[in-house]
Amino acid sequence: MELRQASSLDLDGGTPLHGGTELVPLIRSGIVRPDTLVDIRGVVPRGIDGSTIGAGTTLAELECDPQIPDALREACRLAASPQLRNVGSVGGNLLQSTRCWYWRLKWPCRLHGGDECFALEGEHREHAIFENGFCASAHPSDVAAALVALGATLHTNRRELPVAELYRVPTDDDRRVTTLEPGELLLSIEVPPADRSIYLKAMERKRWAFPLVGVAAARTGGETRVALAGVAPIPWLLEGSLEDATPLPRNAYKVDIATALVKRAVTALATV
């Protein structure tokens, strides 16, 4: 495998590498097998300028910057470990893969192109409670949920799109979970101001765990947007009711957690 430094936004077919906290383990386990890795740290913007965040900004930089809305700062602070947050970029976070243990252990499941979702009949305690009929994976990004609730916009080297539109629910004829095209790079994120926002996270232990359920809520004017992590194959913008959830036999507890956290978040925003 070749490793080179990017000198422009054209990676010439190479696979982008930023902090490597997600990509390197996937290469080690043989899930991703790139011919060429391209270190993009020199060409992807890093830093915070008012409402604009470079995609190369680390989670550690976001969690302590007062310009960043509370929901996003808290989502970053509660993610991963301090060491990982010092290295991991927000762009890489948005593009992380599922934590589904069948997928990570390379079972030939639907997301790997196979015919079966092993989680549906197997171990699915941490899996999705929405859109879980084809692939029951639960999206692991706290940060993505916060950005969706905040109504953030992504700028790539090809287009501008709402963060929510970076994601797609996989289907039989298209197993991709993002809409990112080959050669497309995330460059920056525009986060509109919110009057107030909050991120609440339920996890197996108090630190260094992916969300069982994460709830981001943002209030702007009279409108409150709520988005959830850990409940669907994509960051989940809550447009209907949590009663519409379709939990699997061993994860209905997530509906109870989500209901409690959404209530707590919306109440917190309403009281200030």
Name the residues that contact ligand FAD, by CB under 6 A.
15-23, 40, 44, 55, 59, 79-80, 84, 87-89, 91-93, 95-96, 140-143, 185-186, 210
Say which amino acid occupies 149: A
Structure tokens at 75: 């989502």
**Closest chain position to ligand SF4 (CB):** 109
152 touching ligand SF4, by CB under 6 A: no
At residue 101's C-alpha, the angle toward residues 98 and 208, to 5°, is: 70
Instruction: Retrieve residue 33's tokens.
Output: 């097998």
Question: In angstroms, what is the minimal distance from the CB of 5 to ligand FAD?
Answer: 14
Q: Is 100 in the site for ligand SF4 (CB under 6 A)?
A: yes
DSSP-derived letter for residue 160 is E
Residue 66 in 3-state DSSP?
coil
Q: Which of 40, 85, 96, 102 binds ligand SF4 (CB under 6 A)?
A: 102
Among 130, 129, 132, CA closest to 117:
132
Minimum Å distance from CB 13 to ligand SF4?
26
Residue 38's alpha-carbon distances to 7, 27, 92, in angstroms, are: 9, 14, 14
Smallest separation, CB 243 to ligand FAD (Å): 27
Out of ligand FAD, ligand SF4, none, what residue 136 binds, judged by CB under 5 to 8 A for its kind, is ligand SF4
3-state secondary structure of 142: helix
User: Which of 136, 166, 232, 261 lies at the binding interface for ligand SF4 (CB under 6 A)?
Assistant: 136
Look up residue 241 and give its two tokens.
């009711």
Asked whether position 180 contacts ligand SF4 by CB under 6 A, the answer is no
Which among 74-82, 86-94, 131-139, 146-154 is the span making contact with ligand SF4, rule CB under 6 A? Answer: 131-139
Query: Cα separation of 188 and 31, whole Å?
Result: 27
Smaller CB distance to ligand SF4: residue 121 or 165?
Answer: 121
For 238-255, letters b (16+ CB in 10 Å) and e give beeebeebebbeebeebb
- Report the partner that residue 91 touches, choosing among ligand FAD, ligand SF4, none (CB closer than 5 to 8 A by kind): ligand FAD
Chain residues binding ligand SF4 by CB under 6 A are 98, 100, 102-103, 109-111, 117-119, 127, 135-137
